[in-house]
Structure formats: C-alpha cells, structure tokens
Structure 1
Amino acid sequence: MRKIDSYAHILPRRYFERMAELAKDKGAIKRWLTIPVLYDLDARLKMMESFPDYQQILTLSNPPIEMIAGPDVSPALARLANEEMAAIRDQHPDKFPAFVASLPMNNPAACLEEMDYAISTLGARGIQVFTNVNGRPLDEPDFWPIFDAAVKTYDVPVWMHPARGANMTDYASEKKSKFEIWWTFGWPYETSAAMTRMVFSGFFDKLPNLRVITHHMGAMIPFFDGRVGPGLDQFGSRTSDEDYEGLLKSMPKRPIDYFRMFYADTALAGGRSGLRCGLDFFGAKQVLFASDCPFDPEGGPMFIRTIPEAIDSLNLPEEDREGIYFRNALRLLKMPCC
C-alpha cells in the first residue's frame, strides 16, 4: 500500500552547513551531527530503496530557526531552507512529493513575506511552527497574523512540532532538566500545553477551518481524555484570580470538542497502545502516517518499518488504513490521489 510519511525531517546540505556555522553551542546540535540520513540526500535515497511505495513530505528538522539565528539573520536562513527543500522535491518528485515551509518565527513580519514566497512561488503545501518561540507562547498577538494567513489567505495546514530543551527545568530548585526528561516527557507536555493555549485563546472559534497537525499523536491529550473532558468541564473551579468560569460559559463548544479538531500523526516510535488511544480520540480521518525519520536507533529505517507494523496490528478497516497511510495527507495537502 502507498505510504506518505507526513512528518519526515530533513536538514538540506547547504542549510545544514549554514546552521552549523551559526550555532553558538555545538553541543546543542550534537544529535543532528551524527545522523547522515538527515543531511546527506544520497544516503536518504539509498535508505528509501528498501521501502517501495513509500514517500516523504519534507519538514525541516529541529532546532527551530529562531533558536539558531537572531531576527536579522533568521529570514535568510528560512529562505535557504525552503528553497533547498523545494529543489529536492523538484529533483525527486516520486520520493518527495511535497514540502512544508519553515518560518523565521522571531521575525513575524518576515514570516508573512516568507509564507507568500514559499507557498505562492515555491509551492509549499503548509507551514511548520514549533510549540514556543524561544519561550514565547504561540497565542501571543504577534503570531496571530501567521495563523490567520495560513487559513484565510493560503488555506494550508499547520504542522506543529514540540520545542523544549534541558534549560526548561523540571524543578524550580534546579538549573536544568536531568535524565532527558525534557525530551521524553517534556515534549508531550509542551505540545499539550500549546494545544490548550490554542483552545482557550479561541483559535478554532476565530479560524474554524484551521488545521493543525500535532506531532506524536496529539501528545498527552488522547490518554487524558477524561481530564480534558469532564475535568475541563469544571474549568475555573480551581482558579480564584482569573474568570475562567466566565470564559468556559462563553465558549460555543466543550473544551474536549475543540481538542478533537486537531489532527495527529502516528510518530510514536512504533508504540501500539498509543496508536490505539490516539485513533480512539481523534478518529481515523484525523490521523496521518508519520515516522519521525530519521530519529530512530538505526538512523532512518527503523520507524519506517515498525510504525506500519504497529498500525497493521490493530486490524483496522481497509478504508481507515488507506486514510491513515495516504488519503488523509492527500486531502489535507490538496494533492491528487493518483
């Protein structure tokens, strides 16, 4: 069966080299320096030979552009990333049918310019944002025009990737997050927090056609459906210094119904239980196949192999499997089926 990997990461060679030049802390990019499939296109194409009928939607890998470069440099870095991903798509359309635009989020005005160029000229099928912009939440007013344009001007989906480092501590008494807790559990928390900010900031009321693809199967939300359901039906009962009860009454839908409006991907490192939980929450029409390539212990192929094994083990109806593997992506990206 055809498989479209909707969240496959890449650092195009020229972008990768420029990123390495700009990175002040080489230790912070240690992970990315050791995975050839991430920046070596020939290595990626060779790896993909083992997977017939498999294609990738290209998304720029961590770290976020705004983490590498200041607002005066980040627009050029985003432009380089988008032009390089577009070139890879044009050179190998059978392997990489589309790419997602990257933005210099620490320069909102430049974001709008880059969106227009990347989508209107280069043909990007969506935009990628991270769950925070150097510590700033996405529901700050400065970032609203980006989401507004994605929906009203370009009608493209938004890919949302977690961003959190060891500098975001787990305990107030410490200076860093230990034991990579910032990644294992911090990333799902970060994604869930960003989703919650969107819900209660009225993103879906103001932009009912907004389509946000949350990485890693909607993070914590599906597992905590009781907390975001009956739990948040009591929104405000735990807070005395904000009128959250008034906010709840003003919302046209229950909080849990807004959370179900997000899309999710299957990038759960091959875990079966999480897939089942996410499918139960979002429904098969809101889930896209993604591998998180090449961030697996084998440096590329492992999750492309094990995630479909987990999906197929669920014995889903054929219509649901086709939707997850390729039809949902084609619909969201407005690409022809054949």
Structure 2
Amino acid sequence: MKKIALEEAFAVPGIEKITPGSLSLREFTQKMPKLLDLGKARLRAMDEHEVEISVLSPTSPGTQGIADASQERALARQWNDYLAEAVGRNPTRFRGFASLPMRDPQAAAEELTRAVNELGMVGAMINGYDNSGDSAPIYFDAPEYLDFWKTMAALDVPMYIHPRPAPPERTTTYAGYPELRGAAWGFHVETAEHVLRLIMSGLFDKMPSLRIVIGHMGELLPFWAWRIDHRIAIEGWDRWATENGRGRLHTVTEYLRRNITITTSGVFYTPALLHAISVMGHERILFSVDYPYENTQEASDWIEGVDLPRNVKEAIAYKNALTFLKLG
C-alpha cells in the first residue's frame, strides 16, 4: 500500500551548535547520521515500505530553539533554502515544511510567503513555543501573531505544530524525572496545551479556514477532548470567557473536527487509532512515521495490518494527504 509521511525529520550540519537544546534528547545523537542524510538511506527506507513521498522538516527544536535569537530570521531562510535544494534533487519523493522565525511575527509571515510561493513548500512547521536565545517561552496565541495567522490562512497551507521538551523552568513538574520531559510525556502535554491555547483564544473563529496539524495521534487531545468540554461546561468557563472578551463558537471537540488534522507519527497502536477515528473521522488522520526516530517498517506494517476497510486505510495512508497538501 503506497503511503505519504508528514513528520519526517532532518538536521542541517552543525545543528547541535546552533540549537544546543537538541543535545538534551538522547535520540538526537543516536540518530544523527540518518538525520543528516537527505538521499540514499532515507530513500531506501521509503522504497522498501512504499512511502512514495516524505514531507521533511528540521528536527526539534528547529528555529524555535536557536541559541542566538538574533540569527533566527537568517537561519530560517538558510534552512529553507537548504531543504528546497534537497527537495529539488528528488522532487517526486520529497516535499518540505518551512522553518519560520516566530519571535518576529512579521518576519515569520514574510518567510512563510517566500517559502510557499518561491520555494514550493507545502506548509510550515513550528516546534512548540519559541525560546530562542533562552528567552521565556513565547506561544503563538498572543494577539501580535494574528496577522501572521491571517497570512497562513490566505496562503491556504497547514501549520504543523511539533513537540519539544517542556520548558526548563518547569522544575516542579519534572524535577528528578528527566525521562518525562521529552517524547515519553512532556512533548505531548506541551503541544496539546499550545493547541488548546490557540483554540481558547478564539483564533479559529477569526479564521475558520486555518489548518493545524499535530502528530503522535493528536498529542492526547482526541482522548481528553470530551473531558475538557465536560468540565468547562460544568464549571461555567464558557460564560466567563464570553464575559472576558474571548468567547468561542464551538467546543474543543468541534474545533478538532473543523481545524485540526492529526498524524499517526510514532503511535502505531490500533486502539488509539480507532478512538481517534471515532472522535475526528478518518478523513482528518494522516499516516506518518516520525523517521528517523521511529522505524519505517514498523509504521508501515502496522497501518497495512490494521483491521479497517481498505478504502479507510488507503485514505489514512495517502489519499487524505494528497488532498490536504494539494499533491495530486
């Protein structure tokens, strides 16, 4: 069964010096040779498991964790050019998600426009909050990002929000348990909270066509959306939000079905997939591997073996992505 994968990471040479926070992730150094490869080894893994197209993006924390904040705009541009060259060498097999200098909303909008219109990127990826230069975390529900999101909606391309470790100042939550800061737990909580901030801010009411992608079977949200909506209603928070100028038209569950698309990256677990389908519908689910941090064979064998109708599996494996990314 052919496939399209959307959360497939690469690294530019010397990235560990540019984003030293990446060294806190054990798997980063373990996977460095595969992260640096944008040719034979990656294509071989794709060929062996019928992955026709991989959408590439710089590994976390990307531009959001650059050590020197003043370099964020220039490096985003350089990385996008680097990726565009790699895609150009294999244009039928690779596509790219743009890196963005999100500390500066106007610069981010300008680079997004260039990356889409001039370089052919199919969207963008941000790696959670921005704390380049070790600043306090910046989240993108802030009012100054509204024009950036308008640019994204006008270009009609998706934003993939990828995890990164929880901010280092959260010592109370993670002190003494470094194994919980990353992909085992903190990644997913951090991303889910970021998406909830976007929802609660009313962003999707202002821009109903805005499209967000999140990986790892929805970063917990499909599994907790009912509880979120249930408690917000019982505790009267909808009324409070309206009284304080940020009322919403829909529930969290409804925004998941309207504005959010999820991928299977790194979660090759059938009960989780079946629940996500029950909440969001299979049309809002896309196959991904999370290469090279996850194994392409495991991901491929799993989706091909899932007990679902053939048309549903094909939709998740590649047909939804063809439409969503305007690839065919």
TM-score by length of 2: 0.88
- Alpha-carbon displacement from aligned partner over 1:218-253 (angstroms, at most 9, x marks no partner): 11112123302323322536x9xx933646994322
Matched-pair contact (CA < 8 Å) for 1:9–1:38:
yes
Residue 73 of structure 1 and its aligned partner are, at CA, apart by: 0.8
1:123 and 1:25, CA in 2 relative to 1: closer, same or farther beyond 3 A?
closer
Aligned to 1:214: 214
Q: Find out whether 1:251 has 2:248 as its counterpart.
A: yes
Q: Secondary structure at the match of 1:138?
A: coil
1:106 is aligned to 2:103: yes
1:121 is aligned to 118
Q: Which residue of 1 aligns with 2:203?
A: 203
Rounded to whole Å, the distance in 1 between the matches of 2:278 and 2:234 is: 23
Cα distance change of structure 1 residues 90 and 140 upon mapping to structure 2, 3 Å threshold: same
2:213 alignment partner, SS class: strand
What corresponds to 2:134 in structure 1? Answer: none
Match of 2:64 in 1: 66
SS at match of 1:73: helix
Which of 288, 301, 313 aligns to 1:321? It is 313
State the alpha-carbon separation in 1 of the partners of residues 302 and 245 from structure 2: 38
Which residue of the other structure, out of 303, 313, 320, is the alignment partner of 1:311?
Answer: 303
Q: Give the deviation of 1:280 after TM superposition.
A: 1.6
CA distance in 2: counterparts of 1:163 and 1:129, whole angstroms: 10
The alpha carbon displacement at 1:255 in A equals: 3.2
Number of residue pairs aligned between Structure 1 and Structure 2: 319
| TM-superposed deviation, 1:113 | 2.0
Q: Which amino acid is 2:97 matched to?
A: V
Secondary structure at the counterpart of residue 6 of structure 1 = strand
Q: For 1:80 and 1:249, locate their aligned partners in 2 and report how far apart those are by CA, in whole Å.
A: 38
Cα offsets for 1:264-299 (capped at 9, x unmatched): 001134222222222221111000101101003xxx
- Deviation by residue 1:122-158 (Cα, 9 ceiling, x = unmatched): 0111011233122122201232222110102x11111
Structure with more of its chain in helix, by fraction: 2
CA distance in 1, matches of 2:145, 2:298: 37
Deviation at residue 162 of structure 1 after TM alignment: 1.4
- Residue 145 of structure 1 aligns with which residue? 147
| Paired position in structure 2 for 1:223 | 223
Q: Could you tell me which residue of structure 2 aligns to residue 34 of structure 1?
A: 30
Contact 1:16 1:39 survives alignment (8 Å): yes
TM-score, normalization: structure 1?
0.85
* Equivalent position of 1:178 in the other structure: 177
Alignment partner, residue 164 of structure 1: 165
CA contact (8 A) 2:87 2:96 kept: yes
Cα distance in structure 2, aligned partners of 1:59 and 1:122: 14
Q: Which amino acid aligns with 2:142?
A: E
Query: Contact conserved, 1:199 with 1:259, CA < 8 A, in 2?
Result: no
